[in-house]
Chains A and B, each alone.
Chain A
Amino acid sequence: GAGVSQSPSNKVTEKGKDVELRCDPISGHTALYWYRQSLGQGLEFLIYFQGNSAPDKSGLPSDRFSAERTGGSVSTLTIQRTQQEDSAVYLCASSYRGETQYFGPGTRLLVL
């Protein structure tokens, strides 16, 4: 079956603009995660959705970042008033009931 998909694959924006990144998890997976990887760094956890429970937002770096998951499937990560330090690869992963996380290809965000 299809894996995790993310769109857009690349995004270039100007500082101060808002951006939306989309993630389509593997069908049937109940958990969805957002991570980001800045240049030369490991993956950094941002937010986690599990079923209908309240999301774990403990990794969001500032209140400019938010995410929602509609209908228990597709998720959108929104970054408001983007800054240059937001430039990174944003990765989405999904899992079935908390088992192994499977990653999408990522969205490469560049803030000029």
Chain B
Amino acid sequence: DQQVKQNSPSLSVQEGRISILNCDYTNSMFDYFLWYKKYPAEGPTFLISISSIKDKNEDGRFTVFLNKSAKHLSLHIVPSQPGDSAVYFCAASNGAGTALIFGKGTTLSVSS
């Protein structure tokens, strides 16, 4: 049973527009959430994280929103750039240092 779900396998966006990637989780004990970006033949690269005590965290073009009551988080990329085209993974943990539980990823394609 998947504890972290990314229900959209793919997303296509035009350059300059907003990309919104979604993630749902089932385990209410999760208290730390991360987004990773992955290019082919490379390891995942950390993008941004959020603790369960917050509902928003922003870093440049990337913003993560957390809705604990809905067990939902989203990653917003504004403006989207062609170099953002990659697979994005949502991950969660129930304590610092514990194993991350990953979703299956969403492939983002940004066209120019």
Measured CB to CB, the residues of A under 8 A from B are: 4, 31, 33, 35, 40-45, 48, 50, 56, 58-59, 91, 93, 95, 97-106
Contact = CB atoms under 8 A, between A and B. Distances in A.
Interface in B61-88: none
* Size class of the B contact interface (CB-based, 8 Å): 20 to 34
Given A43-B44, A101-B46, A101-B100, 10 more contacts: A31-B97, A43-B91, A44-B102, A48-B98, A97-B96, A98-B96, A98-B98, A103-B43, A105-B42, A106-B43
A42 B89 contact: yes
B100 A103 contact: no
Given A4-B43, A105-B41, A98 B104 contact: no
A104 B97 CA distance: 17
A100 B99 contact: no
B100 A98 contact: no
Contacts of B103: 42
A102 B80 CA distance: 24
B109 interface: no
Contacts of B21: none
B99 A33 contact: yes
Given A31-B97, A50-B97, A99-B96, A105 B43 contact: yes
A104 B43 contact: yes
Contacts of B95: 98
Nearest to A95: B97
A3 to B, nearest CB: 9
A43 B34 contact: no
Contacts of B34: 100-101
28 contacts: A31-B97, A33-B99, A35-B102, A40-B104, A41-B104, A42-B89, A42-B102, A42-B103, A42-B104, A42-B105, A43-B44, A48-B97, A48-B99, A56-B98, A56-B99, A58-B99, A59-B99, A98-B95, A98-B96, A99-B96, A100-B34, A101-B46, A103-B36, A103-B46, A105-B41, A105-B42, A105-B43, A106-B43
